[in-house]
Amino acid sequence: MPVQKAPELPPSAEELKRALADLFYVAAQCSTYQRAFARFFPAEAASGAEVHMTGEDRLIFNSLSEANLMFVRKSAEFFKPAGKNDKPDTLYSYRYPGYTRQQWIVPEETYEEFHKRVGHITVREARHGKVAWPIFELTMQARNQWVDFFSVMVTSYAADPEIARYCADCAAALRSESAIMESRALRSLGQATPP
């Protein structure tokens, strides 16, 4: 006879606070591809020039692209509007006090493609070919939403100065990195980056 699992419970108010560090990790990882590109190809990152990678470089940057897209996917799930199939133990932005800006940070159909193409091994590419993800635009949309979230949390957790300060620091760090990414003219990365 199979062991019966206890039902999963939604996070408590204290667990939501403790999870803020996990959320910042997701937000910071949303720009992995861009940070690596700027580090290994600084001249191209500064000028916006396209780089045609081969061999090991292409393999590494394809992996970074997939990882980056997975964190954008996680972000999209976190910020989406409440749904009837939401899992009780999953963190969603609507569970956080004062945060009311739930939206699809990527079009809902793009999220479904993430689910099928990035989150799982499916026959999608064999049937329909590769997708050229606009990685820079998706990343910036996710990062801007994270900045907004942590900015709102500063007010929501004002009664807990340590948590409020942490959220302010997260928002500032994300805002600063987003500004750096934009100033380096990384928009060319939004072009095709298929694995």
Tens digit of pLDDT at every position of the chain (195 positions):
677 777 789 999 999 999 999 999 999 999 888 888 888 888 887 777 788 889 999 999 989 999 999 999 999 999 999 999 999 999 999 999 999 999 999 888 888 888 888 888 889 889 998 888 888 888 889 999 999 999 999 999 999 999 999 999 999 999 988 766 666 544 444 444 444
Q: What is the pTM of this model?
A: 0.85
Domain spans in the chain, listed from the N-terminal domain onward? 13-190
pLDDT at 1: 62
**∠ CA 169-70-165, rounded to 5°:** 10
Q: What does the alpha-carbon distance between residue 115 and residue 17 come to, in Å, rounded to a whole number?
A: 28
Q: What does the alpha-carbon distance between residue 101 and residue 149 come to, in Å, rounded to a whole number?
A: 8
| Distances from the Cα of 3 to the Cα of 6, 8, 148, 168, angstroms | 10, 15, 43, 44
